[in-house]
């Protein structure tokens, strides 16, 4: 079964064709990062206008790269939320038009669920239960997945998402946008020598990242951060310490067979390395290009929903604040 995936929840316009939920036949991403960089963050109105310009060429490129005809597709999967309403609307309406005109099943997909399914790309089957850490610009969720489509949220952030914290810390340190990659690059030349607080929230699987960001701001204001590189390395180490320790604690005792990482922050090299080093369980993490927003993960997720009979009608609508469970 070949599924066309469409993703427009934030600032990447993406389309991909995936076979049987695992084999990527094509994956196209038109990034808007340079357009938003001059504003220091994503401007929703600009993002939706840009999606309108890019979506048809991106879909055409994905179909051409895969070398498949519309008749060979089994369905069209599209992100319905969470995300920016105006951006989501572009993808959902194009998906509806294509499903109607080509007579194909329409499958609305949760973006967070899609991030988890990035782990199925290039991997056959994965035994359940697994503990998933989704760390993106808008979310930091720890999830117990007991089967396809079967999720229990163990914990989530009480304030900033991990990616959001990286973006804010980068701004504090005068680094560019997006902040995560900028911090990771800057940290390579520094030492994690500045003591920054870790919010352990004992007895809970929740996260909190606003305290570490504010602590960094106060130290920068007081002139107590010797270099941008040390500030970046110390901040990165503090956030990753919490993510690794709390993910391990959540996986322990829940009989998880594996730990799955996903979301933009999972492309961070130190997080990947530390999670593998400290985990007694096998850790799966998609290649960096499948951690950040893409449509292959949407198509993979759509395949498993379609197999379970989860199709949608043409009244499908966007849900900007959609939750996982
Ligand atoms: O999953 P994603 O591409 O989009 C959302 O669904 O939000 O995640 C984007 C987030 C941004 O906050 C970005 O700064 C962060 O992921 N990020 C990183 C890295 N690459 C992207 N954070 C830390 N290290 C990275 N290498
Ligand atoms: Zn995302």
Pocket of ligand 1, beta carbon within 6 A: 10, 136-138, 163-164, 166-167, 178-181, 184, 263-265, 267-268, 292-293
Residue 217 in this model has a pLDDT that exceeds 90: yes
Shortest-distance Cα residue to atom 16 of ligand 1: 264
Long-range contacts at 219-222 (CB < 8 A, ≥ 24 apart): 219/194, 220/172, 220/173
Question: Which domains are present in the chain?
Answer: 2-118+290-307 (3.30.420.40), 127-285 (3.30.420.40)
| 263 Cα: distance to centroid of ligand 2 (angstroms) | 6
| 1 Cα: distance to centroid of ligand 1 (angstroms) | 30
Per-residue pLDDT band at 220 (split at 50, 70, 90)? very high
Residue 257 in this model has a pLDDT that exceeds 80: yes
pLDDT digits (tens, 9 = 90+) for 117-127: 999 999 878 99
**Closest ligand 1 atom, residue 269 Cα:** 26
Q: Determine the pLDDT at residue 153.
A: 97
Across the range 301-315, mean pLDDT stands at 96
pLDDT digits (tens, 9 = 90+) for 14-70: 999 999 999 999 999 999 988 998 888 889 999 999 999 999 999 999 999 999 999
The Cβ-side half-sphere exposure at 29, using a 13 Å CA radius, reads: 18
What pairs with residue 36 in β-bridges? Answer: none
Q: Determine the pLDDT at residue 41.
A: 86
Residue 313 in this model has a pLDDT that exceeds 90: yes
**Closest ligand 1 atom, residue 83 Cα:** 6
Q: Determine the pLDDT at residue 176.
A: 87
Q: Record the pTM.
A: 0.96
Q: Determine the pLDDT at residue 181.
A: 96
Q: Determine the pLDDT at residue 253.
A: 76
| 134 Cα: distance to centroid of ligand 2 (angstroms) | 9
- Is residue 129 reached through a cis peptide bond, with omega within 30 degrees of 0 on the bond before it? yes
| 137 Cα: distance to centroid of ligand 2 (angstroms) | 7
Mean per-residue pLDDT of the chain: 96
CA distance 96 to 88: 12
């Amino acid at each position: 079964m070949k599924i066309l995936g469409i993703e427009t929840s934030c600032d990447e316009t993406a389309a991909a064709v995936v076979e049987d939920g695992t084999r990527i036949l094509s994956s196209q991403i038109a990034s808007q990062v340079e357009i938003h960089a001059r504003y220091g963050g994503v401007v929703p109105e600009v993002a939706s206008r840009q999606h309108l310009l890019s979506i048809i060429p991106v879909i055409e490129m994905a179909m051409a790269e895969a070398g498949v005809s519309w008749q060979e597709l089994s369905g069209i999967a599209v992100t319905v939320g969470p995300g920016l309403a105006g951006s989501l609307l572009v993808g959902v309406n194009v998906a509806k038009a294509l499903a109607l005109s080509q007579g194909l099943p329409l499958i609305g997909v949760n973006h967070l669920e899609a991030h988890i399914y990035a782990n199925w790309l290039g991997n056959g089957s994965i035994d359940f239960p697994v503990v998933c850490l989704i760390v993106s610009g808008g979310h930091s969720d720890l999830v117990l997945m007991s089967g396809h489509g079967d999720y229990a949220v163990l914990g989530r952030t009480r304030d900033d998402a991990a990616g959001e914290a990286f973006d804010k810390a980068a701004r504090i340190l005068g680094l560019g946008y997006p902040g995560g990659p900028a911090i990771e690059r800057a940290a390579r030349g520094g030492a994690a020598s500045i003591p920054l607080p870790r919010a352990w929230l004992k007895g809970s699987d929740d996260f909190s990242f606003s305290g570490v960001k504010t602590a960094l701001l106060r130290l920068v204001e007081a002139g107590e951060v010797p270099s941008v590189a040390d500030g970046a390395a110390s901040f990165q180490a503090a956030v990753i310490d919490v993510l690794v320790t709390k993910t391990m604690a959540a996986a322990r005792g829940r009989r998880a067979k594996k730990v799955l990482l996903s979301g933009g922050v999972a492309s961070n090299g130190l997080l990947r390395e530390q999670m593998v080093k400290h985990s007694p369980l096998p850790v799966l993490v998609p290649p960096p290009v499948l951690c950040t927003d893409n449509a292959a993960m949407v198509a993979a997720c759509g395949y498993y929903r379609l197999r379970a009979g989860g199709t949608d009608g043409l009244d499908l609508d966007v849900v900007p604040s959609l939750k996982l469970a």
